[in-house]
Structure 1
């Protein structure tokens, strides 16, 4: 699958942190968002999530792109792009999984739809 930022390849899950003090899961944080502890341990998720908010943005580029909030079962929500369908066809409640993007935006978390929308759906 080809993305706008480079080649997209499958990745086996998603790394995140869990606070050793209060147990809160967080993604790319230096401190726990609940208790402000810096004692975070790395954990791994399969990365399967659910879109809880989806929108189409046109900032900094002529092409429209999707920007969504994805909730993971480990307890955190974060903003990311969802690929695998036209930006306006990413629906709230859609199941997604992470993919890695190679190219200028390396390190960006991008998700793809587990079940792309049907072609007859507008």
Structure 2
């Protein structure tokens, strides 16, 4: 009988690592460092840290978040952070993949690992 995992433990992120220089990349056909096409698929935890965050109103009436996230595997990628008001996502926040969302099929969607700290000025 196998071990039981939570939904968050089963989530991950498929990415590629260059066989020539070892650089990790996400959704690229060529290595961003050496331009090699010899990329090996790997799967990581998908946990990352928000480097930059912005509230975007483009193409929709509702505001949404777009964040630049640095992943523990060594690459940076732009994605959406959901489950919290867009303006509450700050640089330094830790994120994880949304359970049940498959990032290979469209938008890359993450959620905060910890809820944001609210104070009287927020």
Q: Which has the higher helix share?
A: 2
State the match for 2:69 in structure 1: 70
Instruction: Provide runs of 4+ in structure 1 moved above 2 Å.
Output: 118-121
Question: How many matched pairs?
Answer: 111
Task: For 1:84 and 1:117, locate their aligned partners in 2 and report how far apart those are by CA, in whole Å.
Answer: 11
Equivalent residue number for residue 14 of structure 1: 13
Map 1:44-55 → 2, pairs under 5 A: 44-55=43-54
CA-to-partner distance for each residue in 1:97-120, whole Å, 9 max, x for gaps?
A: 012548xxx421101000011344
Partner of 1:4: none
C-alpha deviation, 1:41, in angstroms: 0.2
Helix, strand or coil: the match of 2:78?
strand
When normalised by structure 1's length, the TM-score is 0.84
SS of alignment partner, residue 87 of structure 2: helix
Structure 1: runs of 5 or more not aligned: 1-8
Rg bigger for which structure? 2
Shift of 1:80: 0.5
Larger strand share, 1 or 2: 1
Any stretches of 5+ residues in structure 2 without a counterpart?
1-6
Query: In the alignment, which residue of structure 2 is the partner of 1:42?
Result: 41
How far did residue 62 of structure 1 move?
0.5
Q: 1:34-57: CA deviations, max 9, x gaps? A: 000000000011111000000000
Equivalent residues of 1:101, 1:107 under 8 A apart? no
Q: What is the CA RMSD across the aligned residues, in angstroms? A: 1.7
2:29 alignment partner in structure 1? 30
